[in-house]
Chains A and B, each alone.
Chain A
Amino acid sequence: MIQLFHVTKYYDGCLALSDISLRIEKGECVLLTGPSGAGKTTLLKLIFGAEHPDEGQILVQNRNIARLRRSDIPYHRRTMGYVLQDFKLLPQRTVFENVALPLIIRGLSSFESRRKVTEALRAVGMEHKKSTIAFVLSAGEQQRACIARAIVNSPIILLADEPTGNLDPQLTTEIAALFKAINTRGTTVMMATHNRQVVEQLNGRILRLDCGHLLSDQGAYT
């Protein structure tokens, strides 16, 4: 599903990732852990196509991301969902409009969009909030809406960068449970987190990074 071969990345000459090689199979739940600046976000961005590796190759579903043309990147992104710590919702739009956005981009019909958005909102327990303006949602609700937007396209891979970073322990448990449920349905989940509670709850493969180096890889598929 995802393969990295000796990937190295620098930011203005500073090392962000050093010689990372790994293989992630379909349906895995991978947790990237480590302190701030360890390279967790960079690794996710590389897989997402938001950054180019300076060295090495990245294969996502047998496509070499390092060689992807700029114009192909949006199509690569449509195959995955991305959840961020700071939600990234359009504040003046309703929950429904926010979640429907990836479907509009894909040019789906209104009927199909409505069906898929309703399904995604139901999966995250937000169906009753579909007409609410995103601006008035609580932090937990905003993150649920973000997750719904990330899964509305039925992505094969779901990337998440500290999705519980702004949430209290109760909400963290709920959001982690959502990711667990999504993973159980067969979606590959790759999450950067330094929240021990989330790591324990998701009980997945743990990749520990520090200063751009992969220190350990626990629980990999054999």
Chain B
Amino acid sequence: MKRFWYFIREAYTSIHTHQASTLIGIVTTAFTLTSFGIFLLLYHNVHNILGRVQHNIQIIVYPKDNIEPGKLHDLQQAIKTEPAVDSLIFISKQDALTEFTHQFPDEVYLLEGLGESPFPASLVLTMAAKTPTTDMISNLVNRLQHNPDIERVRYNRDWIERLTLLSAYMELGALVVGGILALASITIIANTVQLAFYAREQEIEILRLIGATSLFISIPYLIEGAILGAAGGGVALGFLRGGFELFTHKIQGLSVFGGFSSVFEFFPLPLSLLLIGGGILMGCLGTLTTIYGSMRFRL
């Protein structure tokens, strides 16, 4: 317990003594995480929208016109067992006709004299809540197309694939930009801690003299790095939240995009904590870089 308070006090003393470099470290971490967070937020929302769109995808399956009722039942059962499928609605030829007459009452005359409904029966599939990937949907459609009891399968493929591609590019962008910025931040935190190291070189020498292990010497600096990173993460989260609120507020004011504002959402709690965790990790990595460099050759 005494050691614990010693570590906390040492970390506090170091932060208090080197306020300027600590501030630079926090600002850099905040800048890095804000930049990374913007990408992450965009990615999160595109991914979200993609999920919603994919969930709303309706694959329409047209069974063969002459399919027996027993086989139609089997086909429905088989489709229901597909993991990507959430629900299935059977629309009979008569249902299709009724829907047409409801939707286009002025065009009903076109069907006069045709006898039974000219519309094919169909199965409308809705995708599962847990977003299926484009591959899963393609595979499902492929399998359905090869089913001898099915005449035709229809779904809007192109723009879902484009949205998926955009999402993948954003993921890659977030990783690359985040990686580069994180590296820059780690370097600056390492320099901040290095300054603290130089300033306390005599103290470190004294600690070695009286039998302190490298771990004992390092812990206050690790705490300092973690505090620095957490503060940077917190500031970044604040910036992102503020920016997000401003963005959604502005969008709401524009009549063209007004309806979209409810689609966007901020990071859920786990992602917010992850951002702060990222800051802590960067802080610790920066400190470890310095510690490793400074203690490597000392006895």
By a beta-carbon cutoff of 8 Å, the part of chain A in contact with chain B is 49-52, 70-71, 73-78, 82, 84, 88-90, 101-102, 104-110, 113, 149
Given contacts A70-B299, A88-B205, contact A77 B2 (CB under 8 A): no
**Docked-complex contact B2 and A109, CB < 8 angstroms:** yes
Which B residues touch A71, using CB under 8 A?
Answer: 213-214
* Contact flags B112-128 to A (C-beta < 8 A → 1, else 0): 00000000000000000
Partner of A105 from B203, B205, B212, B214 at Cβ < 8 Å: B212
Q: Is B209 engaged at the interface, CB distance under 8 Å to the other chain?
A: yes
Give min CB distance, A110 to chain B, whole Å.
5
**Docked-complex contact B211 and A52, CB < 8 angstroms:** no
**Docked-complex contact B209 and A77, CB < 8 angstroms:** yes
Give min CB distance, A78 to chain B, whole Å.
4
Minimum CB distance partner of B210 in chain A: A102
Cα A104 to Cα B205 with chains together (Å):
16
Partner of A102 from B1, B6, B211, B213 at Cβ < 8 Å: B211
Which B residues touch A102, using CB under 8 A?
Answer: 210-211
Cα A12 to Cα B70 with chains together (Å):
94
Which A residues touch B1, using CB under 8 A?
Answer: 110
Give min CB distance, B196 to chain A, whole Å.
15
Instruction: Please name 16 pairs of A and B residues whose Cβ atoms are closer than 8 Å in the assembled complex, sorted by A.
Output: A49-B299, A52-B299, A71-B213, A74-B208, A74-B216, A76-B211, A77-B211, A88-B202, A88-B205, A90-B203, A101-B206, A101-B210, A104-B2, A105-B216, A106-B211, A109-B2
**Docked-complex contact B299 and A105, CB < 8 angstroms:** no
Q: Is B3 engaged at the interface, CB distance under 8 Å to the other chain?
A: yes
By a beta-carbon cutoff of 8 Å, the part of chain B in contact with chain A is 1-3, 6, 202-203, 205-214, 216, 299
Partner of A113 from B2, B203, B209 at Cβ < 8 Å: B2
Given contacts A105-B216, A107-B2, contact A75 B203 (CB under 8 A): no
Which B residues touch A101, using CB under 8 A?
Answer: 206-207, 210
Cα A20 to Cα B207 with chains together (Å):
29
**A88-B206, A105-B216 given. 17 additional CB < 8 A pairs?**
A50-B299, A70-B299, A74-B213, A74-B214, A76-B211, A77-B208, A77-B210, A77-B211, A78-B211, A84-B209, A101-B210, A102-B211, A105-B207, A107-B3, A108-B2, A109-B2, A149-B210
Give min CB distance, A80 to chain B, whole Å.
9
Which B residues touch A108, using CB under 8 A?
Answer: 2
Give min CB distance, A115 to chain B, whole Å.
13
Minimum CB distance partner of B206 in chain A: A88
**Docked-complex contact A104 and B213, CB < 8 angstroms:** no
Give min CB distance, B291 to chain A, whole Å.
14
Give min CB distance, B112 to chain A, whole Å.
94
Which B residues touch A73, using CB under 8 A?
Answer: 299
Give min CB distance, A41 to chain B, whole Å.
13
The interface centre, meaning the residue of B3, B205, B299 with most chain A CB atoms within 10 A of its CB, is B299
Give min CB distance, B102 to chain A, whole Å.
81
**Docked-complex contact A88 and B209, CB < 8 angstroms:** yes
Cα A77 to Cα B205 with chains together (Å):
13
Minimum CB distance partner of A110 in chain B: B2
Cα A51 to Cα B299 with chains together (Å):
7
**Docked-complex contact A74 and B203, CB < 8 angstroms:** no
Cα A95 to Cα B213 with chains together (Å):
22
Which A residues touch B6, using CB under 8 A?
Answer: 104
Minimum CB distance partner of A109 in chain B: B2
Minimum CB distance partner of A78 in chain B: B211
Cα A49 to Cα B209 with chains together (Å):
10
